Structure 1
Amino acid sequence: MRKHLRTLLACVIAMLALGTVAACSGGSSTTANSATPSSSAAAAKDFPKSAHYIADMPMADGKTMTIGVAVEGDKIAAYACDGLKDEAWFFGTQKDGSLDIKSKYQDTLKASFNGTAVVGQLTMNDVNYSFTAPTVALPSAMYTAAANGVRASWVVRPDNTITGVQFAISKDSDTSDLVQANEQQFRDQVRQRRQARLLQPAPPLEFGTWRSTVNGVPVTATRVDGDTRLG
């Protein structure tokens, strides 16, 4: 009997020891698992070296505002348009997966990369739009072409539908000469220049060949990447 009790006691002690080891092992596993999301979250802040993102945003009048974002290293190019009479170009840089850029007409684009999409807010003409733009595969991207003082720009969606706006470049719409006497005066001047622009829907763009006719001139549109810069 005593031998049996000693054997039983030894088994209990061994089980307790194993339980302690298991508990320690479990603690290490929990620490590792909790560290993994942190590592993933940190990695998710970094944009791919080269990528394109597109999203549609509903407008109050039932129409659609579309935004395209292109990344090339730390450089960003973005284009937003309603396909009818409003557009904005954004050029700048991103840092740690975040961007905060203004257009020449003081539109704002603030966004960050969550690992799969660009999530942010676009403000155009004092109207706010929230968007989540997933990664798209080429040839889905932004395209642009210019001829005789007119620039047409398009966003080609993953379903091959295309939207864009054409802009007649004029001195009346330039903002480079504006001096900011005070914020309100500057905003008023920018708004006047914005309204002076001659905008209309972009001409049809032939999918795949990217051919079009801008201001009566046959053109081939070029793809906009993150390091593209327009005057």
Structure 2
Amino acid sequence: MRKTTRSLLAAVGATMAFGTLSGCTSTSTTDTTTPAQPAPETTSVVAFPATARYMADMAAPDGKTMTIGVSVDGAEVAAYACNGIDDEAWFFGNQTDGAIDLKSRFRDTLAADFDGTDLVGTVRMNDVDYTFTAASVSGVAGMYTAESDGVRASWVVRPDGTATGVQFSGFAEGNRDFDPFHLDEFSDFDVRNNVRNKRNLSPAGPIEFLPDGRPQASINGVSVTPTLVTGTFRLG
């Protein structure tokens, strides 16, 4: 009787052990779950409108206000920044996927991105950084320039018609070793200290608009009709 009981218990134990082993084997062979992979990062590109103008006033550390205007036409960009007294910078080039990265003839820099509404960036002039958020403008607002007898006046006009402008009247003595139109071979230091700071700059005269929107101004007493600067505009 005891032998029969021991045999029965041994058989039951073997059956339970086999069932447990079979269950473990089944679980390991059917577990095909893989760790979730992170979603790939995506970069959102915001394209400029086909044609647009932007402007902003920027606070300067010295208390002066630097004003910037930017015009975009397709891929082409023109920009102008000035403080209305004694400093200015022109920028020309192209935008790529809503981003602008330009350098002026006198080694100032402009970097900005279009966020779908505004143009946000930094302009560096004479080793000073000015940050800005430039809103889209229309009507008379934008950049204008005019020339008379070798003197150029340029303005950034706000939507209310007020303007900030600078007049460029050539170069002072002391930069005879530098051709201001061929500066590629010179360092940034040389350009800034031997050409940029030799410019004769002064406040531009007022710019006004006729009832039909046409601009008018004068340079050294000579009447001129300023040109609205578009993204395709380039200085000679």
In the superposition, the TM-score normalised over structure 1's length comes to 0.76
How much has 1:199 moved relative to structure 2? 0.3
Greater than 4 Å deviation, 4+ residue runs? 170-174
- The answer to whether the Cα contact below 8 Å between 1:175 and 1:190 also exists between their aligned partners in 2 is no
Report matched runs for 1:150-165 at 5 Å. Answer: 150-165=151-166
| Identical columns (%) | 53
Q: 190, 196, 199: which is aligned to 1:197? A: 199
Alpha-carbon deviation of 1:58? Answer: 0.4
Equivalent position of 1:126 in the other structure: 127
* Cα shift at 1:189: 3.6
| 5+ long unaligned stretches in structure 1 | 1-37
Structure 1 position 58 matched with structure 2 position 63: no
C-alpha distance 53-202 of structure 1, shift in aligned 2 (>3 A) = same
Q: Is the 8 A contact 1:153 1:164 kept in 2?
A: yes
Contact 1:49 1:72 in 2 (8 A): yes
> Aligned partner of 1:187: which letter?
F
Distance 1:189 1:110 in 2: 20
- 5+ long unaligned stretches in structure 2: 1-41
Q: Deviation of residue 47 (structure 1)?
A: 0.3
TM-score w.r.t. length of structure 2: 0.75
Aligned mates of 1:179, 1:111 — CA distance in 2: 24
Does the CA contact (< 8 Å) of 1:80 and 1:89 recur in 2? yes
Out of 207, 221, 224, the residue aligned to residue 219 of structure 1 is 224
RMSD value over aligned CA atoms? 2.1
Distance in structure 2 (CA, Å) of the matches to 1:134 and 1:106? 25
User: Any idea what SS the aligned residue of 1:84 has?
Assistant: coil
| Residues 198 and 114 of structure 1, relative CA distance in 2, 3 Å threshold | same
Judge conservation of contact 1:46–1:96 (CA < 8 Å) in 2: yes
Larger radius of gyration: 2
**Contact preservation (8 Å) 1:105, 1:191:** no
The whole-number CA distance in structure 2 between the counterparts of 1:92 and 1:221 is 22
Preserved contact between residue 143 and residue 156 of structure 2 (Cα < 8 Å):
yes
